[in-house]
Every structure is written in C-alpha cells, then in structure tokens.
C-alpha cells in the first residue's frame, strides 16, 4: 500500500477499510466519519466480511468451483481474513455466521438466521467471555439482529416498486433496521447519535463496498499495472470525502443524552413488544406492546423529576486542584473551583447528565431547609463545612471537606470536635493525606478520598 497509494489520507482510509488498521487515520478524518454517523465504515465489520465473501464466491465461480461441498474451502479463507484484521468481534461474528451458512448448504440443511447469530455469539463468548461487556460486540450483534428482524418487515412495503426504487428503498430500510436496535446502545455509551445518518449511508455503504473491491483488486495486480489504475481508488476516496463533507451541513444530531441502564432495558422491551404486535396483531399483543412503552414513559417522567429535585455535593478528582460542585434543584454552583476552561471536560458530563443550569451561590437561604454561610452548608440532616488554607480553626462539627493541603495539626490543634466524616480531594499532598489518615484512625472517624474512589457524591 505504501508503494501503490502515495496520498496519506487515501492510504490511511484504505488501510482501515481493507485491513482494520486505523493507526494512520488523522483526527479530522475520524471526526468527519463520526459526525456523519458513518464511523462504522472505518471498523472492519460484517459489511466488509460480507463483501469479501461475495468476492471469494465470485472468484470460485470463475474457477469453476460450483459444488456446495467445495465451498467449504471458503471457511479457512474467511478465518484467515478475520485473523488478518485483528479478530474483532464483528468480523468473528460474520465469519462464524457465514461458516454456519456454508456448512448448511454443503450438507443440504436449512438454517435459521437468528439461531446462527445466537450460535456465533455463544461460540465467541465461550472463547472470550469478556466480550459480553465489549461495546463493539454489543453494537455488532444488535445491528445484525435488527437487520434480520426489522428489514424484512420494512422491505415488504416497497417490493412492488420499480427495480431501481426498490433497491434504493432497500438500502434505506437496511440502515434504519440497523439503527433501530443500535440507537439505545449509542445513546447509552456515546450520548449522541446522528438521526439523519441513514441518508448518507445510502451513498456511503455502496461507495465503500466498491472502494473495498477496487483496492483489493489493485493490491492483487502487479505493482506497475496497479500504479496505472490507482486513479480509480483516488477518485472514489475523493468522492466519499466530498459526500461526507457536504452532508455535515444538513446533519441532525441528538446530543447530551445520558440514559440509565433501566432506560436501555425498557427501550429494548418496547422494541420487542412492538415486533410481537406487528407479527401477531390482536388485543392481547396490543396490551402487551403498550405495557413496556407505558413503563418507559412513567420511568422517564419520574427520572426527570428526580433529577430536578436532586440535592448533593460532588467532589471531583482533579490532580493538584479542587473542584467541589453543589447540585440543588436542577441548578449547580461551585463551592470551590480551581479548574481552567481547558479542564472542564472532567465536570461537563455530570452537568449534562443531570441537565443543570448555572446559578451562583450567595450566602443565606438557598432553598427550603438549605442554607450556606461562611463556607458552611447546613440542612436538617447534616452540616458540611469546606476547609481550605484560609479557614480559621473555630468549633468544627459535621462533615469536613479538606482542600488545599490543610493538615490536622494546623486545623484542629489537638482538640476533639464532633466530626462525623472527613473528605479529601486531590488538591491535598500525599503528606497531608497520611496525616489525616493517622488522625482519623486514632479517633475512629470515617475518611473518604478521591484518590481511592475517584469522584465522591455526598447526598444532602
């Protein structure tokens, strides 16, 4: 590839498409594919494995290998391609699935696609059980299951159209079917999704498949002949990049969405019940289909209400700095914040997840039964005091938030105060943390450190 393709951007793209090697991709290319919802094209997946299978089948047909039993030779070739591309879950899934299909055809046995999907997942999890928690594994099987279940249902409405329109609609239904089952996972893991990506996939998927075939053929040809035909891949790469760049102007994204695990389970329950209603319509299936949707709506409303009424203090783990945030009734304010604008990525996910609005803290009554005065926050259940280098060693009680390297000798001066718990953030040095550990051990006071647990939440 280095000798055949001089342009670094095109070469990096083809290395990702053909071999699954993405180390040469620059940030601009990744951002372009990610923002348009076509990032899956850069990961060697079932799309690429299927394209390789079709190419190998075509080669076998040219060579005169027609017997189904002879097609078993494709299985080791698919396995070799899976090894070549790094044995990713999506490629393994496709290779095993196609192997089952080839075995069934070789011995004249019928097969059920969903059973083949389940069997391939079972085999992969026997070898590597940890793949169950892999985002790639979950997305791959969700997409393929969605295609098997929803694509036939959607495609039956357009089969009677003219051939060209029927194929165009089939691409749209294929993209929508895959998105239906992967959308909850995308929102859960990535918190954003392109709602119009199925439009660009109509162009991008066939173009990527053609680019994959062209690149593989050129790599198999002698170098001198390949250099004369390289304009084909250059033209396809340029057209793909231009299409994605133009699509970004009309792209519609759903951002800053942070569903919980229960949101995820209820979303898939709703999809399953809807599928049951479509396949077998009736009053019972209608009520069964409406139950998960009703539960999802009830939970969504109660979850939003809970977010609006949440009251807590967050101690973020920022090395050498303090960031203590007060969340009260849908608003947030900093009790202490040493972070600059470039370091806000530590706290932005929490603010976006809880849909908080900025509100400055003024001394006095914040909300009912919640007051703030001289770095001390009081509620009917507890009293929390923020301690830094400027704090005076007056009578201390309740919960102490220690920041800025204040050792117990400087603050407490060997006095016994009614302290319930002590919290240390990452602004304290190792020496200061050890001194507080000794003090809490002597007086049997609970000690919590962000260095041990990361961010700490204190409910009010």
Q: Are 94 and 121 in contact (CB under 8 A)?
A: no
* Sequence ranges of the domains in the chain: 8-254, 261-308, 311-459
Residue 312 token pair: 């807590």
For 282, which DSSP code?
Answer: S
Contact 323, 351 (CB under 8 A): no
Exposed/middle/buried for residue 253 (C-beta within 10 Å: 0-12, 13-18, 19+): middle
pTM: 0.73
- Element (DSSP H or E) covering residue 423: strand 419-424
Asked if 179 contacts 197 with a C-beta cutoff of 8 angstroms, the reply is yes
DSSP string, 148-211: HHHHHHHHTTSTTS-HHHHHHHHHHHHHHHHHHHHHHHHHHHHS-EETTHHHHHHHHHHHHHHH
What is the pLDDT tens value at each position of the chain, 460 positions in all? 888 888 888 888 888 877 777 788 888 888 888 777 777 777 666 667 777 787 788 888 887 777 767 778 888 888 888 888 777 777 777 788 788 878 877 777 777 778 878 888 888 888 888 888 888 788 878 888 888 888 888 877 776 777 777 777 777 777 778 788 888 888 888 887 777 777 787 778 788 878 888 888 888 888 888 888 888 888 888 888 888 888 877 777 777 788 888 989 988 888 888 887 777 776 777 777 788 888 888 988 898 888 888 888 899 988 888 888 988 888 888 888 888 877 888 888 888 888 888 887 665 556 667 777 777 787 777 888 888 777 666 667 788 888 888 888 777 665 667 788 889 988 888 888 898 888 888 888 899 998 888 888 988 8
Q: How far apart are CA 449 and CA 428, in angstroms?
A: 10
Question: What is the rounded distance in angstroms from the CA atom of residue 311 to the CA atom of residue 330?
Answer: 8
What are 70's two structure tokens? 């002879």
Q: Which residues pair with 458 in a beta bridge?
A: 313
């Amino acid at each position: 590839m280095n000798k055949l393709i001089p342009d670094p951007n095109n070469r990096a793209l083809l290395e990702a498409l053909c071999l699954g090697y993405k180390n040469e991709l620059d940030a601009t290319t990744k951002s372009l594919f990610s923002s348009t919802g076509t990032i899956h094209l850069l990961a060697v997946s079932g799309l690429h494995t299927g394209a390789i299978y079709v190419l190998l089948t075509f080669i076998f047909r040219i060579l005169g290998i027609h017997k189904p039993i002879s097609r078993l030779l494709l299985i080791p070739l698919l396995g070799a391609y899976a090894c070549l591309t790094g044995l990713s879950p999506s490629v393994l899934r496709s290779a095993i699935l196609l192997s089952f299909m080839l075995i069934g055809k070789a011995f004249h046995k019928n097969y059920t696609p969903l059973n083949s999907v389940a069997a391939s997942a079972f085999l992969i999890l026997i070898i590597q059980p940890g793949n169950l928690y892999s985002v790639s594994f979950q997305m791959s099987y969700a997409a393929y299951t969605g295609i098997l279940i929803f694509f036939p249902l959607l495609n039956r409405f357009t089969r009677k159209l003219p051939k060209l329109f029927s194929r165009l609609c089939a691409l749209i239904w294929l993209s929508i079917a895959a998105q239906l089952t992967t959308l909850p996972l995308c929102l859960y893991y990535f918190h954003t999704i392109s709602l119009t990506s199925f439009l660009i996939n109509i162009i991008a998927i066939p173009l990527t498949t053609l680019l994959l075939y062209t690149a593989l053929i050129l790599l198999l040809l002698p170098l001198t002949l390949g250099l004369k035909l390289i304009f084909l891949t250059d033209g396809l790469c340029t057209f793909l990049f231009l299409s994605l760049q133009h699509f970004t102007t009309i792209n519609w994204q759903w951002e800053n969405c942070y569903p919980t695990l229960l949101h995820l389970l209820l979303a898939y329950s709703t999809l399953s019940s809807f599928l049951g209603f479509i396949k077998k319509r009736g009053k019972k299936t209608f009520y069964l289909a409406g139950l998960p949707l009703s539960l999802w709506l009830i939970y969504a409303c109660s979850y939003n209400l809970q977010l609006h009424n949440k009251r807590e203090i967050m101690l973020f783990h920022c090395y050498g700095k303090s960031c203590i945030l007060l969340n009260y009734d849908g608003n947030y304010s900093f009790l202490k914040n040493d972070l600059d604008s470039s370091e806000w990525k530590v706290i932005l996910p929490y603010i976006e997840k809880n849909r908080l609005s900025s509100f400055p803290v003024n001394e006095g009554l914040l909300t009912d039964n919640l007051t703030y005065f001289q770095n001390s926050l009081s509620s009917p259940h507890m009293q929390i005091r923020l301690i830094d280098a400027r704090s005076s060693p007056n009578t201390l009680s309740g919960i102490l938030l220690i920041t800025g390297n204040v050792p117990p000798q400087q603050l407490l001066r060997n006095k016994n105060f009614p302290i319930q718990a002590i919290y240390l953030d990452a602004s304290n040095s190792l020496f200061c943390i050890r001194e507080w550990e000794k003090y809490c051990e002597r007086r049997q006071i609970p000690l919590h450190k962000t260095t041990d647990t990361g961010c700490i939440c204190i409910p009010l």
